[in-house]
């Protein structure tokens, strides 16, 4: 990537820094809660679903949400919304992040139009 303007370079650095901070916060929160509960998390490794870890990476945690599908189907001015249910692993991750599953289920209940 080639950027010519200084303000574009600063903006890109700030955006990347923000993303890194979010990843670090996710990782720290899950690891902290796992250590507090003296538990480990299994199901993050596709080739070995029974492998458990007490120090998951943010990339593995986010990859657990890769198969989410939100469908908006509009037929004769009627909108149908379908959202995959959360797996137990995804529910565990949200719980470790101190988030409720409501933030997920509200996606299907949103009355806004699709993007």
**Is residue 115 in some structural domain?**
no
pLDDT tens readout for residues 40-88: 999 999 889 899 999 999 999 999 999 888 888 888 878 888 889 999 9
Residue written as token pair 């120090």:
55
Measured CA to CA in angstroms, residue 99 lies from 13, 49, 66, 82, 102 at distances of 29, 24, 18, 22, 8
Residues pairing with 39 in the sheet: none
Given a contact cutoff of 8 angstroms between Cβ atoms, the answer to whether 106 and 94 are in contact is no
pLDDT tens readout for residues 89-100: 999 999 999 999
Structural tokens at position 109:
């209940």
pLDDT tens readout for residues 12-31: 999 999 999 999 999 999 99
**Is residue 1 in some structural domain?**
no
Q: How far apart are CA 26 and CA 65, in angstroms?
A: 14
What sections of 1-115 are H helices per DSSP?
A: 6-37, 58-63, 88-96, 102-109
Query: Does pTM surpass 0.95?
Result: no
**Is residue 39 in some structural domain?**
yes
**Is residue 33 in some structural domain?**
yes
**Is residue 70 in some structural domain?**
yes
**Is residue 11 in some structural domain?**
yes
**Structural domain of 15:** 6-109
Q: Considering its fold, how many domains does the chain have in total?
A: 1
């Amino acid at each position: 990537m080639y950027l010519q303007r200084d303000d574009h370079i600063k903006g890109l650095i700030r955006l990347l820094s923000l993303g890194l901070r979010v990843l670090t916060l996710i990782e720290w929160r899950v690891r902290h809660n796992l250590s507090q509960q003296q538990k480990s998390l299994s199901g993050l490794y596709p080739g070995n679903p029974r492998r458990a870890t007490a120090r998951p990476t943010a990339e593995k945690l986010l990859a657990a949400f890769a198969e989410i599908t939100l469908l908006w189907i509009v037929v004769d001015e009627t909108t149908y919304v379908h959202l995959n249910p959360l797996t137990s692993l995804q529910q565990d991750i949200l719980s470790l992040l101190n988030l409720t599953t409501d933030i997920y289920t509200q996606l299907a209940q949103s009355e806004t139009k699709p993007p």
